[in-house]
Amino acid sequence: MHWNKLLTLLAIGLIPITAKSQVVQSSTEGKTEFVPHWFMQVQAGAAHTRGEAKFGDLISPAAAIYGGYQFTPLWGLRAGISGWQAKGGWVSPQNAYKYNYLQGNVDATLDLSNLFCSYNPDRFFNAYLFAGVGLNGAFNNDEAVTLANKGYDLRYLWTDNKISPVGRFGLGTNLRLTSNLFFNIEVNANVLSDKFNSKKAGNVDWQFNALAGFTIKFGKTSRKTEPVYYEPTPQPAPVVKEEPKPVQQPAPVKQEKVSMTENIYFALNSSAIRNEEKMKIEKLAEFMKEHTECNITISGYADKQTGNADINMRLSKKRAENVAIQLKEMGIDSQRITVDYKGDTVQPFSTREENRVSICIAE
């Protein structure tokens, strides 16, 4: 049977293809979360009703439309109408006859790509499996009635219409065109009453469909969580110590060299100074105004695990320059400020979040 082979080959082929599409999300940089959503599918293609005639003689047009809801990355539910035309065949003397049908369906869907490769809304190839039930209403059986009137032995001949319950299953894929539009390909098998094609075969009637069309998803289907930033505890300012005075011989009080260090941290791929970091720059400006003999060196860095060497060198330079601009705007003479930058050639700290930094040393 051609359709049984087609379904088997497609089932074997879907899983390894989807396995190549896995994308690992970083919890540190934010992750992508699934959002439940409605969807619609519109399909058209060809149907084949199993019979004694040649395979090509029993092919007829088919179409379907569904509306559904995706509850989780794995499970969804859809309902819709399929149908158009079906054919029956008589072998000797050879003759084919057509009739029409409409079929209401309810299917449960399982996303195979997300099952085996984890959730990824940007994956191009998205395979799914479905199974369900339906109710088939066949009509316009005039050609079969004409054959019966000519002496053909159609033992299950029906005239006005024929209602049959249906069991169905199939495989499909959605090929991503945009975040909400997909090209859809689907094959399915429908098992019906032996009376569907008016002939008595002693077993159920099978109808197979190969369809193509579009899947449209409505609204947001995913959302990105905010990145998590880990900021180390700022280093305490050094304590200024005074030299003890000689007991017998008075001498001028001697002070050790004073200094102050502040680490100004930045967001991923950003040189903008965040509000919570501006207070550190204000402390530096106050220290510089109190200690007019001190100069300040600002060294910019970037984390090596993100971007590339050229981008990180430019980014570290911009981070250091932006801190220098803030100090100048707070009244610190540019002659007292030295700007340096290392890119990702030096990693002063153990985590990548800490290495997105400008280290400021005033002394």
Same fold, 2-224 and 260-362: no
Q: Enumerate the H helices of 292-348 as residue ranges.
A: 309-329
Q: What is the pLDDT of residue 113?
A: 95
d(CA 267, CA 255): 39
Q: What is the pLDDT of residue 150?
A: 80
**Domain coordinates in residue numbering, the chain:** 2-224, 260-362
d(CA 11, CA 112): 10
Q: What is the pLDDT of residue 246?
A: 67
Predicted TM-score (pTM) of this structure: 0.55
Q: What is the pLDDT of residue 17?
A: 40
Q: What is the pLDDT of residue 24?
A: 40
How distant, in Å, are the alpha carbons of 170, 187, 199, 205 from that of 5? 13, 12, 25, 18
* CATH superfamily membership of 260-362: OmpA-like domain (3.30.1330.60)
Q: What is the pLDDT along the chain (363 residues), one digit of tens a residue?
A: 455 555 555 545 544 444 443 434 444 566 889 999 999 999 999 999 887 777 888 899 999 999 999 999 999 999 999 999 998 887 767 778 889 999 999 999 999 999 999 999 999 999 999 999 999 999 998 888 888 888 787 888 888 898 999 999 999 999 999 999 999 999 999 999 888 888 777 788 899 999 999 999 999 999 988 776 656 666 777 777 777 766 666 555 555 678 899 999 999 999 999 999 999 999 999 999 999 999 999 999 999 998 899 999 999 999 999 999 999 999 999 999 999 999 999 999 999 999 999 989 988
d(CA 140, CA 87): 11
From 124, 130, 221, select the one nearest 182 (Cα to Cα): 124
Q: What is the pLDDT of residue 153?
A: 78
Q: What is the pLDDT of residue 18?
A: 42
Identify the architecture of domain 2-224 in CATH. Beta Barrel (2.40)
